[in-house]
Amino acid sequence: MRVAYLECFSGISGNMLLGALLDAGVSEDLLRQTLASLDIGADLRISHVNRSGISSTNVEVLTEQPMHEVMHSHDHPHTHELTYEFVHSHSHAGHAKHRNDHDHNPVHHDTHHRSLSNIRELIRKADIPAPAREVALRAFEMLGEVEAKIHNVPVESIHFHEVGAVDSIADIVCGAAGCHALGVASFVCSPLNVGGGTVRCAHGEFPVPAPAALALLKGAPLYSSGIQHELVTPTGAAMIRALQCHFSSFPAMTVDAIGYGAGTHNLKGHPNVLRISVGELHA
């Protein structure tokens, strides 16, 4: 049986998964065509970077809307990667934003937002295989459900901030299409290193992992190596769950493809990468 093994010794985020898939041989054209079919005004910037001596593939989601229009921070536009926010339709009390560069900055709230139903419709219309569509829909449903429960609001009142929605849609839908392209029967995942420290949300400082990520990873084997960064993002956690991963140490398998997806930061003494190994599971 053909399987893919995800080693999350530096956690997982949406763009790390995309990088690992590309590095393992998934077609760049496939991801670009998938993104184009969504028609959300986004593109991918793909590059090769060094993470503590490991050559890995870095993926950035670029949008048509400049970051300075929606963020109070002074981040360079080229660091615009996975940014999303859930907002309540009738209240600004629950704003919280997650980025895969482990920085949680406040954002303006006067731009457009995408509802969960709007995102469902985008995914249903996208030109992707049915199994990939199911994974993408499942990921967003899970994200919406945990955020609704955390904030004690109906799931349909959960909205994504416009720029963040573009990032999340790109990461999740392209990730689902790339995972389908591997042609594996199942995904297996290592225990997840969640990192440490705190993340800054509109509610204040929260310990890592962020509430949504922890809720999504109920029952999964988690640990912290002591690294003071957020390593598992809610989108990364949602993909783990949407792919219906099994958890184990490295399985007995013959590996024929390996990929490394880069995290944003080059952590001192620790390769901030997600590794995927693809091959045949031994009977």
Instruction: In whole angstroms, give the CA distance from residue 89 to residue 93.
Output: 10
CB atoms within 10 A of CB 102: 23
Distance CA 118, CA 124 (A): 10
Q: Which of 142, 105, 100 is nearest to 120 (CA)?
A: 142
Among 203, 93, 118, 206, which Cα is nearest to 168's? 118
From the list 19, 11, 37, 58, the residue with the least C-alpha distance to 189 is 11
Q: Is 84 helix (H, G, I), strand (E, B) or coil?
A: strand
Residue 132 tokens read as 């990939």
Phi, psi of 171, rounded to the nearest 5 degrees? -60, -45
Q: What are the Cα distances from residue 172, in Å, to 43, 95, 134, 218, 239?
A: 14, 21, 11, 20, 7
* pTM score over 0.95: no
Count up the domains in the chain and report the number. 1
Ordered per-residue pLDDT tens for the chain, 283 residues: 999 999 999 999 999 999 999 999 999 999 999 999 999 999 999 999 999 999 999 999 998 754 433 333 223 322 333 333 444 433 333 333 344 443 333 333 334 578 899 999 999 999 999 999 999 999 999 999 999 999 899 998 888 765 568 989 999 999 999 999 999 999 999 999 999 999 876 567 889 999 999 999 999 999 999 999 999 999 999 999 999 999 999 999 999 999 999 999 999 999 999 999 999 999 8
**Which range marks the domain in which residue 255 is found?**
2-281
Q: Residue 118: how many CA atoms within 13 Å on its side-chain side?
A: 14
